[in-house]
């Protein structure tokens, strides 16, 4: 039985999701509401990225589900896949669904820049815009929004960064004091890594915990 068939046969559906798939969950939640069924949206992540604050139904997110639900969906599919599921079932999207799916597409393709990008993804983006996706708002929040705490952390990390191996490897030291001083989260530092990777000669970036003997927290490399 497929995901949509399970939904059709249920009266109260709980969608449980990690932050990574919250855009897909928003679109699916909208679909369930259009069927006039009871729906609950549960995000299991501790903190939700402020860049997702514009997604439909963010004010409906709960921390726990409901035992009375007759269907629990642990959603772990990205926007591209969910869009294909809707398309195969001949489900017409509304503006909320299209916007959520477009936001997820921006996330999974890193703003249409990563190596997994292909013509199919561009075709999906075009169709979502035709369905009314508010793509300018998605771009503004997903790709162009920052907080003051992030900018302060970025300044500190760039100042501490060092280049090794003929400037092909960038080491970005982070310690707890940096986070306390700026009010930023560790996840904010991941965005700094992406910017460092854009340096001409850098092929690899390491985020290390400087107060824990340079323990590697995250490593990213340029896609060939």
So what's the pLDDT on residue 224? 63
Res 78: pLDDT: 95
Please count the CA atoms within 13 angstroms of the CA of 135 that sit on its side-chain side: 14
Specify the pLDDT at position 1: 65
pLDDT of residue 116: 73
**pTM of the full structure:** 0.84
CA pair distance 217, 211, nearest whole angstrom: 12
CA–CA separation, 147 and 197 (whole Å): 21
Over residues 46-74, the pLDDT tens digits come to: 788 889 999 999 999 988 777 788 999 99
Name all domains of the chain by residue range, CATH numbers in brackets: 3-144 (3.90.1640.10), 148-221 (3.10.310.30)
Please report the pLDDT score of residue 25 as a whole number. 97
The Cα 127–Cα 53 span in angstroms is: 23
Query: What pLDDT score was predicted for residue 177?
Result: 95
Alpha helices in 112-175 (DSSP H): 119-130, 135-144, 148-160
Residue with tokens 């007759």: 70
Residues of the chain under the 50 pLDDT cut: none
Residue 24 has what pLDDT?
Answer: 98
Tokens at 201, concatenated: 């000669």
Q: What whole-number distance in Å separates Cα of residue 189 and Cα of residue 167?
A: 20
**Cα 42 from Cα 63, distance rounded (Å):** 5
pLDDT tens for each residue of 87-122: 999 999 999 999 999 999 999 998 998 877 889 999
Pairing of strands 215-221, 204-209: antiparallel
Q: Side by side, which strands form the sheet with 71-75?
A: 61-62, 38-43, 12-17, 71-75
């Amino acid at each position: 039985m497929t995901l949509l068939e399970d939904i059709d046969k249920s009266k109260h559906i709980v969608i449980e999701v990690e932050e990574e798939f919250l855009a897909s969950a928003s679109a699916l939640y909208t679909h369930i509401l259009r069927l006039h069924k009871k729906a609950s949206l549960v995000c299991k992540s501790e903190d939700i990225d402020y860049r997702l604050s514009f997604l439909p139904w963010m004010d409906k997110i709960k921390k726990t589900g409901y035992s009375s639900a007759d269907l629990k969906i642990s959603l772990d599919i990205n926007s591209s896949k969910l869009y294909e599921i809707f398309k195969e079932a001949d489900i017409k999207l509304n503006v909320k669904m299209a916007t959520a799916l477009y936001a997820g597409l921006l996330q999974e393709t890193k703003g249409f820049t990563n190596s997994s990008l292909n013509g199919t993804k561009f075709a999906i983006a075009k169709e979502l815009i035709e369905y009314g996706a508010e793509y300018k708002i998605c771009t503004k929040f997903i790709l162009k929004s920052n907080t003051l705490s992030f900018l302060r952390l970025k300044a500190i990390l760039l100042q501490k960064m060092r280049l090794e191996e003929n400037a092909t490897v960038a080491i970005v030291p982070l310690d707890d004091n940096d986070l306390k001083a700026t009010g930023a989260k560790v996840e904010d530092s991941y965005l700094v890594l992406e910017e460092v990777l854009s340096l001409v000669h850098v092929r690899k970036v390491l985020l290390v915990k400087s107060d824990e003997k340079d323990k590697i927290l995250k490593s990213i490399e340029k896609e060939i």
